[in-house]
Amino acid sequence: MYTQIAANKRRTLILMAAFVVFLSLLGWIFSRATANSNLVYFFGGFALIYAFISYFASAKIALTMAGAKPIAKKDAPELYRVVENLAITAGLPTPAIYIVNDPAPNAFATGRDPQHAYVAVTSGLLDRLNKDELEGVVAHEMSHIGNYDIRLMAIVIMMVTIIAVLSNMFLRMRFFNDRDNEAAGIFAIIGIIAAVLAPIVGTLLQLAVSRQREYLADASGVQLTRYPEGLEHALEKISADPQTLKHASPSTAHLYICSPFKGKGAQVMRLFSTHPPIEDRIKRLKQMEKTV
């Protein structure tokens, strides 16, 4: 766990630095392709500002996109008790608690560190799960907070999104202009390749980081509750529910404990899912029952 925490902090810094360098490089390529030298300064400055915003505001943006609302203890006393007890067990500050008014059962955690963390659950989750199952889910999310992967993934999704947006903008630009020469043509081709590959590389990064963190959060959550069956049964119920979250989107799907996409089109989305197969996660939890 401590190795993972250190690794996530290190990866966050490396990712932010790489993002600034990468976007500046894209700006240089695009500026050569369009004969507009101002683009390199625009991309570099934008990268610095966006990295700053991603670090401090990505969690609130994710909560807003999910339709999550803060609640008081009187609104969900059992949920509050579970979160507070598990926070004490994990040695973490109690995160702010949010509710997503949606009948589909699911939950997620976000934030930049344990001192600025948030746990959000859907109303459907509270309706469907018993106390042991709710503890399993919350312990899983508390593990995301303790492992610092909430910061990493919040920043990853912000950066992946903006790279895709900027790349799409470039593909729509008219880059064949007065500089009708061989060099301009070469840089135009390089620019197109960069614009196409950028979102693909970002998505692959998102998939690779997300799947591994789910396995780790499952294992760390069980260490908190000492009851693998709670999380195991919760995953079974959540994955079996046919409802898709109202505010589900590919940009926030990685945050949830289970994929928010269900029903028609779910099989296609599964090919690009940021979550490992539920069957594999449950299999690992069953193996942990023998050691707890």
118 backbone dihedrals φ, ψ, rounded to 5°: -140, 140
CB 38 within 8 A of CB 31: yes
State if pTM tops 0.75.
Answer: yes
Partners of 99 in beta bridges: 69, 121
Residue 141 reports pLDDT greater than 90: yes
Instruction: Give residue 176's domain range.
Output: 2-288
pLDDT of residue 180: 52
Residue 196 reports pLDDT greater than 90: no
**Mean pLDDT, residues 241-264:** 83
DSSP H/E element including 165? helix 149-171
The Cα 261–Cα 214 span in angstroms is: 17
Distances (CA, A) of 41 to 199, 234, 283: 21, 49, 51
Q: Per-residue DSSP letters for 14-30?
A: HHHHHHHHHHHHHHHHH
Sign of the CA dihedral with 100 first, then 285, 157, and 271 last: negative
Q: Could you report the per-residue pLDDT of 163-183, keeping only the tens digit for each?
A: 667 666 666 655 445 445 555
The single residue of 133, 141, 214, 232 carrying the catalytic annotation is 141
The Cα 53–Cα 49 span in angstroms is: 6
141 included as an active-site residue: yes
Q: How many CB atoms lie within 10 A of CB 36?
A: 16
Rama region for 287: left / alpha / beta (φ>0; ψ in -120 to 50; rest): alpha
Identify the weakest region by mean pLDDT among 67-76, 92-101, 230-239, 266-275.
266-275
pLDDT of residue 176: 46
Q: Tell me how many domains the chain contains.
A: 1
- Average pLDDT value for the chain: 82
Q: Could you report the per-residue pLDDT of 145-163, keeping only the tens digit for each?
A: 998 878 877 777 677 777 6
Please, which pLDDT band fits residue 263 given cuts at 50, 70 and 90?
A: low
The Cα 90–Cα 131 span in angstroms is: 18
The Cα 232–Cα 236 span in angstroms is: 6
Q: Could you report the per-residue pLDDT of 102-119, keeping only the tens digit for each?
A: 999 999 999 989 999 999
The Cα 254–Cα 251 span in angstroms is: 7
Q: Which two tokens stand for residue 16?
A: 């932010």
**Mean pLDDT, residues 88-96:** 95
CA atoms within 13 A on the CB side of 116: 12
**Mean pLDDT, residues 24-32:** 77
- Tell me if residue 13 falls in helix, strand or coil: helix
